[in-house]
Amino acid sequence: MGDETTADADDGAATPDAARAESDAHSDATRAESDADSDRDVGTVYLVGSGPGDPELLTVKATRLLEEADVVLHDKLPGPEILEAIPEAKREDVGKRAGGEWTPQEYTNSRLVELAREGKTVVRLKGGDPFVFGRGGEEMEHLAAAGVPFEIVPGVTSAIAGPGTAGIPVTHRDHTSSVSFVTGHEDPTKDESAVDWAALADTGGTIVVLMGVGKLPQYTAALRDAGLDPDTPVALVERATRPEMRIATGTLATIVEVRDAEAIEPPAITVIGGVAATRDRVVEFLRNRTGEAGGVTDE
């Protein structure tokens, strides 16, 4: 600073152009420094999959991030054991339930950016995997557009883990070598369904429907109309991997009646295909978390 003052004195009064140039240079430097400070202050958002609900199926990385996070924005789908292990002071519920309370996605997107710009480490905790019908892709794009750094932490998807823990493999060499994952709860603002049930019926593979309890009558009828055998085995897996897990089985023709009789409720997974009958052949020796034979309640 002293050297700059001496130079000004020796050279006489600065010209207007020189003064303007110096001012512009100073402004540019200040702006660059401010931007650098801003970048340093912005926190990171972690889009984390919590798995199907059993806390022992959380990944090691997810567990660490939950401990380190300043704030956890969570869905209602992570199991209660997982959510209760997070200090209440840093939990924010932004979850949705079909037909129940819900938080606008726009709010969640804005909240993630707001918290990150406060310099916080943020975990956006989702049921299953954040990129399997979890709107993680939308949140990722919003964060990128806002200039917020983020990281994806995959989770064990309930689409595979749910049937698996019920003794139902989604692929099996004796039954099928393909599997399709479908949402049963599309965006209600769509003019028509984006799911081609006729094409799915033609694959001959396993069909796994997530969030499909409410629309079960519609899509089972669509599959039958498309030529899928009404005797095709179907299983409903409710609250997969949790202590209160329940499984109900039937066929494409009977599963709606089974659902109603056994009062199967969301969250539940529908498995359609020959693999759904595998459970009956192994259930005697299947153990769940309690170690009891059968392990789950078959209603």
Active site residue 96: yes
Q: Give buried/exposed letters for 113-143 (b at 16+ CB in 10 A, else e).
A: bebbeeebbbbbbbbbbbbbbbbbeebbebb
* 207-248 pLDDT per residue, tens: 999 999 999 999 999 999 999 999 999 999 999 999 889 999
203: tokens are 């694959």
* 10-47 pLDDT per residue, tens: 334 444 454 445 445 444 443 443 454 455 589 999 99
Active site residue 75: yes
276: tokens are 């759904």
Provide the sign of the torsion angle of the four alpha carbons 142, 96, 264, 289, taken in this order.
positive
DSSP strand pairing (122-126 vs 150-153): unpaired
pLDDT at residue 46, as a whole number: 98
Closest CA to 116 of 142, 85, 83: 142
Amino acid at 113: V
Question: Three-class SS of residue 123?
Answer: strand
Active site residue 211: yes
**Please, which residues have CB within 8 angstroms of residue 115's CB and are 6 or more apart in sequence?**
43, 45, 70, 71, 73, 122
> What are the extents of the domains in the chain?
45-156, 159-298
Q: What is the pTM of this model?
A: 0.79
Q: 45-156: which CATH topology?
A: Cobalt-precorrin-4 Transmethylase; domain 1 (3.40.1010)
Q: Which of 75, 129, 140, 245 is catalytic?
A: 75
* 135-159 pLDDT per residue, tens: 999 999 999 999 999 999 999 999 9
Do residues 72 and 153 make contact, with C-beta atoms less than 8 angstroms apart? no
Which listed CATH number (2.70.98.60, 3.30.950.10, 2.40.50.180, 1.10.287.3510) goes with 159-298?
3.30.950.10
Q: Which of 54, 126, 129, 211 is catalytic?
A: 211
